[in-house]
């Protein structure tokens, strides 16, 4: 027990103080912040070139209304004839006209297709095209409503917004019947938890593997196991690296929101530019009231989730999933030879189930009670990634308990199995071992 503690401590301390660890822990949030700033910059980066577009409105659809400008894009209604305008465009004067839009007269107000012409020597940029398009469609709609004498109120009534409110029939104590947002929120939460599992398994599982390979190529391992049982060393390694992972994740949970907050102060990511950003995305305009009620619904949805089940279960799945995969990675690491490059192929049998589990997880969020999702919850290599994603959808208790038992038992079995491969593998110097050999080690005497 003392030795287990010493091993855990060494694994933890020597890793956490490493420059690469400190840099990764600090730079990842910074990297995110930089990404954030750049992304914001790109979004807010409209057209910085000013374009003046003359409009010759033969149809009269803009009669009596001003055409709204947009950053860098100015519209000028003109009564000049085409030749004059074109001549002006050709002059290429500073602040002069750049393009001409000719809207032909409309003979039939019921027309479905209207063709306008755009004259310019410059190519038509996509955002300019969209801006003109939007303005024309809006003006044409107004024009048609007016000339056809349509009832505005009736038109507005054509568009109906349907909302499905879900209500639970059997209520447990303290539960709210309204679960409207639970599904959406659950899907979001499930995705986040599933991905978190997936990433942790990969990042920290391979960290355990590298640690095993390092000891083997350093030739320290034989000295260590003359004092410590290989199983103790393996367990200490898995727990120590797990603690490193936990430290890193916790640091990120504090640092990432902190950095984003600081960035928003220093780089003026304020409400204005956020709004601008939204306006840039045509069609996603949402009025603040609607936004607020949305937020309230999400919070309400979060409130309906059964956190007392979700959080402890997530932690248990996390532990089980981490231990089973870390043990497998360690076993593979112990079988690797001095040439790490050629040994990478040994990790494929582990990465395949992880990636499959990720896909099943994504399917399970769409249909949390499909037989695929339910069966996968009992397949130990998939369950740690699939089941956390289902937790928010309130799966039956027998499934949670059954799946947890399977996962934890399998994790223990994997640690035991890995230890048997590990104790032989670490003393096999030189070339990498095949999967068949690893299989034989399982049954070899100690």
Does 3 bind other proteins (CB under 8 A)? Our answer is yes
CB of 428 to other proteins, least distance (A): 10
User: Applying CB under 8 A, does 10 fall inside the site for other proteins?
Assistant: yes
Q: Per CB under 8 A, which of residues 425..444 are in contact with other proteins?
A: 427, 429, 440, 444
Q: How far is the CB of 262 from other proteins (least distance, A)?
A: 32
Nearer to other proteins by Cβ, of 50 and 444: the residue is: 444
- Residue 424 CB, shortest distance to other proteins, in Å, is 9
In 10 A of CB 175, how many CB atoms? Answer: 12
Q: Which of 139, 225, 259, 305 binds other proteins (CB under 8 A)?
A: 225
Identify which of residues 2 and 94 has a Cβ nearer to other proteins in the complex.
2
**How big is the site for other proteins, counted in residues (CB under 8 A)?**
24
**Candidate segments 23-31, 78-86, 148-156, 220-228, binder of other proteins by CB under 8 A:** 220-228
279 binds other proteins (CB under 8 A): no
Q: Interaction with other proteins in 118-177: which residues (CB under 8 A)?
A: none
Q: Which residue has the tokens 């609607």?
A: 290
Contact positions with other proteins (CB under 8 A) in 393-432: 427, 429
Q: Which is nearer to other proteins, 233 or 328 (CB)?
A: 233
Among 226, 284, 366, 371, binds other proteins (CB under 8 A): 226
Binding-site member from 6, 203, 260, 417 for other proteins (CB under 8 A): 6
Nearest approach, Cβ of residue 264 and other proteins (Å): 38
Minimal distance, residue 229 CB to other proteins, in Å:
8
231 binds other proteins (CB under 8 A): no
Contact call for residues 233 and 224 (beta carbons, < 8 A): yes
Q: Which of residues 12-31 bind other proteins (CB under 8 A)?
A: 14, 18
Out of 124, 223, 250, 253, the residue judged to bind other proteins by CB under 8 A: 223
Check binding of 218 to other proteins (CB under 8 A). Answer: yes
Select the span of 107-115, 143-151, 178-186, 217-225 touching other proteins (CB under 8 A).
217-225
Copy the structure tokens of residue 218.
Answer: 């350093």
Binding residues vs other proteins (CB under 8 A): 2-3, 6, 10, 14, 18, 215, 218-220, 222-229, 427, 429, 440, 444-446
């Amino acid at each position: 027990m003392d030795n287990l503690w010493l091993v855990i401590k060494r694994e933890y301390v020597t890793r956490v103080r490493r420059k690469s660890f400190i840099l990764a822990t600090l730079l990842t949030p910074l990297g995110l912040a930089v990404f954030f700033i750049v992304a914001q910059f790109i979004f807010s980066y409209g057209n910085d070139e000013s374009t003046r577009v003359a409009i010759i409105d033969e149809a009269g659809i803009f009669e009596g209304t001003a055409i709204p400008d947009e950053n860098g894009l100015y519209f000028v209604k003109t009564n000049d004839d085409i030749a004059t305008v074109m001549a002006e465009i050709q002059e290429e004067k500073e602040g002069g006209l750049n393009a001409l839009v000719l809207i032909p007269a409309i003979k039939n107000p019921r027309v479905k297709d209207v063709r306008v012409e755009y004259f310019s020597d410059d190519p038509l940029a996509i955002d300019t095209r969209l801006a003109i398009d939007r303005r024309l469609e809006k003006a044409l709609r107004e024009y048609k409503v007016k000339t056809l004498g349509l009832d505005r109120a009736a038109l507005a009534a054509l568009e109906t917004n349907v909302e499905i409110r879900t209500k639970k029939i059997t209520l447990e104590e303290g539960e709210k019947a309204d679960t409207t947002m639970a599904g959406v929120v659950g899907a979001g939460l499930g995705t986040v938890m599933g991905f978190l599992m997936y990433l942790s398994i990969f990042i920290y599982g391979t960290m355990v593997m590298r640690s095993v390979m390092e000891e083997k190529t350093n030739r320290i391992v034989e000295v260590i196991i003359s004092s410590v049982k290989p199983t103790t060393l393996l367990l200490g390694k898995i727990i120590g690296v797990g603690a490193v992972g936990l430290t890193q994740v916790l640091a990120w949970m504090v640092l990432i929101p902190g950095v984003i907050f600081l960035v928003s102060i220093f780089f003026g990511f304020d409400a204005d530019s956020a709004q601008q950003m939204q306006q840039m995305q045509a069609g996603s305009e949402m009025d603040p009231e609607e936004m607020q009620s949305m937020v309230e619904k999400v919070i309400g949805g979060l409130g309906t989730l059964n956190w007392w089940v979700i959080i402890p279960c997530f932690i248990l799945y996390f532990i089980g999933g981490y231990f089973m995969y870390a043990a497998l990675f360690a076993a593979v690491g112990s079988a690797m030879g001095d040439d790490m490059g050629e040994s990478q192929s040994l990790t494929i049998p582990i990465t395949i189930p992880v990636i499959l589990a990720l896909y099943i997880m994504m399917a399970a969020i769409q249909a949390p009670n499909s037989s695929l999702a339910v069966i996968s919850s009992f397949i130990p290599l998939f369950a740690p990634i699939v089941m956390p994603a289902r937790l928010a959808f309130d799966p039956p208790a027998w499934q949670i308990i059954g799946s947890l038992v399977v996962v934890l038992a399998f994790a223990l079995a994997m640690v035991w199995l890995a230890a048997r491969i590990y104790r032989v593998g670490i003393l096999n110097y030189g070339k990498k071992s095949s999967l068949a050999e690893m299989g034989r080690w399982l049954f070899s005497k100690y």
